[in-house]
Amino acid sequence: MFVVLLGPPGAGKGTQAQRLTTSTGLLHLSTGDMFRENVREGTELGVLAQTYMDRGELVPDEVTIKMLLERIARPDAAEGTMFDGFPRNIVQATALDEALRARGDLINHALLIAVSDEELVARLGGRWLCRSCGAVYHERNDPPIKEGICDKCQGELYQRDDDSPDVVRTRLEKMKPPADLIEHYREAHVLSEIDGERALDSVTADLLEALR
């Protein structure tokens, strides 16, 4: 099963992908996490990606598509994958469709998580992430037991540079799923729209229901 998670920044794609992949066994692939890993390691790709991420803009398609296609060619992505943050536009969607089609696979589900701008700003401003395992928290909605420490692995929690108010404003302008991308999946009869502005467990339940 190959699933794409669509939604604006802060909709809960990463949080829900972690929950859904635990219960479905799918591989979780986040292009944002892949870029952040490259930034941490100081690779050439990381240096390039950071200039775009710092401004709240998309990394160029050719770079992102190449990275993603190389990753899905690895054996652990053969059985099923949940794509989080990819595709962001029709060029990326077409590249993914073609790569999957070439090996006899296709996107089975596109799950669109909808959340209002006001709520997105509040979520991104209060987000904390674990440096070690990537677990996602929110200081008000989903706090860790001990402030600054990950419940799962005791790692240190941090806030992303691109969650600063200025960058969040740009991300909300530029990063929402475009209409033609949503239409692409609607026409393929794989699109489900989920109200993401509810309790975490209710959103997870609806997403799981859509996958069934």
Rg (CA), the chain: 16
CB of 148 to ligand AP5, least distance (A): 14
Residue placing its CB nearer to ligand AP5 in the complex, 105 or 162? 162
In the bound complex, what is the minimum distance in angstroms from residue 123's beta carbon to ligand AP5?
A: 3
Residue ranges that bind ligand AP5, judged by CB under 6 A:
7, 9-15, 30-32, 35, 52-53, 56-59, 64, 85-86, 88, 92, 123, 126-127, 136-138, 141-142, 162, 171, 175, 196, 200, 203
Tell me the closest approach of the beta carbon of residue 196 to ligand AP5, in angstroms. 6
**Three-state SS string across the chain, please?**
CEEEEECCCCCCHHHHHHHHHHHHCCEEEEHHHHHHHHHHHCCHHHHHHHHHHHHCCCCCHHHHHHHHHHHHCCHHHCCCEEEECCCCCHHHHHHHHHHHHHCCCCCCEEEEEECCHHHHHHHHHCEEEECCCCCEEECCCECCCCCCECCCCCCEEECCHHHCHHHHHHHHHHCCCCHHHHHHHHHCCCEEEEECCCCHHHHHHHHHHHHC
Nearer to ligand AP5, 106 or 205 (CB): 205
Q: Which residue, 58 or 208, is less far from ligand AP5 as judged by CB?
A: 58
- Closest CB 137 distance from ligand AP5, rounded Å: 6
Longest dimension (CA), the chain: 48
Closest to ligand AP5 by CB, 81 vs 92, is 92
Known catalytic residues are 13, 88, 127, 160, 171
Residue nearest to ligand AP5 (CB): 32
